[in-house]
Amino acid sequence: MFHTLRHNRLAWLGIGLVGGLILGGFWPESPYHAVATDRFETFAMATGPVDEDIEAVYFLDFLTGDLRAVVLSKQGNVFHAFFTYNVINDLGVDPSKNPRYMMVTGVADLRRGGARMQPSRAVVYVAEITSGRVAAYAIPWASSAHAANQQIGPMPLLRVAVTQFRTPAAVAPAP
């Protein structure tokens, strides 16, 4: 029998198909979440999921400390959800000392109560290198308003947490 299998391509194809079906039935499904982050001089942007089927685009202006987020409408032809927050006080930033920011998003399944507004599925993390602080922010999301294509906001982002991740750095003055 093994001699026949060794020379019969059709038999190997059958074994491969059966093995694939078996493994496919037992392999857990895992959704993929793609996010993007970019920056240019004194400006950064990132994307992150808000709900199961929509993401936000976050913008951070390094000069003003303004963090903004927008979400597309259900039809995708306009932005219809607007959020903003100034991170300067949370991060202990002195705007005159050339702040050095980093920004990324991450998935966070935060506790959701019975309120109409729920924290988004992702948080945006903003760190400032010279102060050594990082903060996490979430969008106050109303999936029912989005499903009905109603405008949301402008309203403030939710501050989730702030912490010190390093001792504040002494920064040499710019030449």
Give me the average pLDDT of each 10-residue run along the chain (175 residues).
58 62 55 69 92 91 95 87 96 88 88 69 92 95 87 93 86 54
**pLDDT for the residue 112:** 61
Is 172 among the domain residues?
Answer: no
**Number of domains forming the structure of the chain:** 2
17 in the same domain as 46:
no
The reply to whether 170 falls in a domain is no
Q: Is residue 18 located within the same domain as residue 43? A: no
Residue 79 lies in a domain: yes
Within-domain flag for 171: no
| Pairing of β 79-86 and β 152-156 | parallel
In a domain, 118, yes or no: yes
Query: Residue 57's beta-bridge partner residues?
Result: 47, 70
Does 173 map to a domain? no
Q: What is residue 139's predicted lDDT score, i.e. its pLDDT?
A: 93
- CB-CB contact of 90 with 162 (8 Å): yes
Pairing of strands 118-128, 101-107: antiparallel
Provide the domain limits for residue 126. 37-164
Read off the pTM: 0.75
pLDDT value of position 10: 66
